Structure 1
Amino acid sequence: MRVLLAICLTLVSTLVFAVDDGAKLQPGNLFPKVKLETSMGDIVVELDRIKAPITSNNFLLYVDKRSYEDTIFHRVIKDFVVQGGGYDKEFNTKPVMKTIFNESGNGNKNEIYTLAMARENDPHSAGRQFFFNMNDNPSLDPGRKWGYAVFGRVVNGMEVLDKIAAVETHVDPTWGWPDVPKEPVILKKATLLPQEF
């Protein structure tokens, strides 16, 4: 019985650590900033831990593990979204550490230059992929159905995003995916910036 209890406690503590790992980064900072170094320039985003703590901490977990390095922006639709974080340059799927609760009802809107989580049909299927809104996209906000959780906004590098959103895209000949940049746009590095006091 004691062995079983010890195993259960170990599993629970491991799960709690995995879930809270991003929360351990700058824990007193409600609006941490992350610099995204892309092949087309740098973008700085400010996360919103007040309205989207689960989503922000999840994003920070991938940043801390350097898991976004050398990924691509695989879906670019002018005046709609720039999406990335899920695939490497060879279109191999990057591992998802966990899926998270959908915080789309937090009051943040899918407005231009905001940062939101991508997901599948299951409203709570977001893992690592994110997107930038390149327009005001009220159709992505919650209503009678779950929306897409906005957890940050761009504070520097809007012109870089505009350049990315304007790249030429096609249907990828290998995978058959639409809206893939003809010339890969790479997220080279993501770094949590020092906390401002």
Structure 2
Amino acid sequence: MLRSFSGMMLLVVSQLSFAADIQKDTLYPKVQFDTSMGKIVMELDRTRAPITVDNFLTYVVKGEYDNTVFHRIIPEFVVQGGGLDPDLNEKPEMKTIVNESGNGLSNTFGTIAMARESEPHTATRQFYFNVAENTRLDPSSRRWGYAVFGEVIEGEAVLQAMSVVPTEVNKKLGWPDVPVTTIILKQAKLLPRK
């Protein structure tokens, strides 16, 4: 009985400490990506996209984005990553999240948004950076959009450099727009509160 109670308390404490890890009380948390091409820092907007930010930060603090690749790059459109390892194997996903597009944030240059399938509520772990004014990805009265949840505040030059790397159709995946030279997201880290 005592062992069971101790185990339960440990579980509660670990859940509470995990909740603190994603800075639930910070409205605009900052995340740094250390990539093979340089650093990118983004500020997330929990006031407009709380579900998306919490989901993204959960992957960050668990180290799930570490040693992943940017697998889709389309110049003047997007730089996408977060879902594949360097051997282009898919990484495990948590459950899908509710689409928070229509939150007032737009797919403009330098913003980060959730990638998804054609169905609106299918985002899990993959994200993309807008490297153009992609307002056509915003919602309209007839369709869901793609949920923006933050913006780049440092490292725009790194993002620009990524957006023009040569790409090809990857034979393993059969996907177009895969960088010829692998761009690795070495580490994603939640920055301390200031």
Aligned to 1:159: 157
Whether 2:65 is the aligned partner of 1:56: answer: no
**Residue 83 of structure 2 contacts residue 125 of structure 2 at CA under 8 Å; is this kept in 1?**
yes
Aligned to 2:89: 92
Aligned to 1:26: 23
Which amino acid in structure 1 is aligned with residue 185 of structure 2? L
Query: C-alpha offsets along residues 81-105 of structure 1, whole Å, 9 cap, x if unaligned?
Result: 0000000001111011111000001
Q: CA deviation at 1:24?
A: 5.5
Change over 3 Å in CA distance of 1:189–1:36 after alignment to 2: same
Whether 2:57 is the aligned partner of 1:38: answer: no
What TM-score comes out, normalization by structure 1 length?
0.88
**Residue 113 of structure 2 contacts residue 149 of structure 2 at CA under 8 Å; is this kept in 1?**
yes
**Residue 22 of structure 1 contacts residue 59 of structure 1 at CA under 8 Å; is this kept in 2?**
no
**Residue 116 of structure 1 contacts residue 132 of structure 1 at CA under 8 Å; is this kept in 2?**
yes
Aligned to 2:113: 116
**Residue 115 of structure 1 contacts residue 151 of structure 1 at CA under 8 Å; is this kept in 2?**
yes
Which amino acid in structure 2 is aligned with residue 63 of structure 1? V
Q: Structure 1: which 5+ residue stretches go unaligned?
A: 1-9
Query: C-alpha offsets along residues 2-58 of structure 1, whole Å, 9 cap, x if unaligned?
Result: xxxxxxxx9xx99xx6xxx66752222100000000000000010000000000010
Q: For 1:1-197, what aligned pairs fall within 5 Å after superposition? A: 25-143=22-140, 144-196=142-194
Report percent identity of matched pairs: 56
RMSD (Å) for aligned C-alpha atoms: 1.7
Query: C-alpha offsets along residues 125-180 of structure 1, whole Å, 9 cap, x if unaligned?
Result: 00000000000101100001000000000000000000000100011122211000
Task: Kindly report structure 1 stretches of 4+ aligned residues shifted beyond 6 Å.
Answer: none
Q: Residue 46 of structure 1 aligns to a residue in which SS?
A: strand
**Residue 84 of structure 1 contacts residue 131 of structure 1 at CA under 8 Å; is this kept in 2?**
yes
**Residue 21 of structure 2 contacts residue 61 of structure 2 at CA under 8 Å; is this kept in 1?**
no
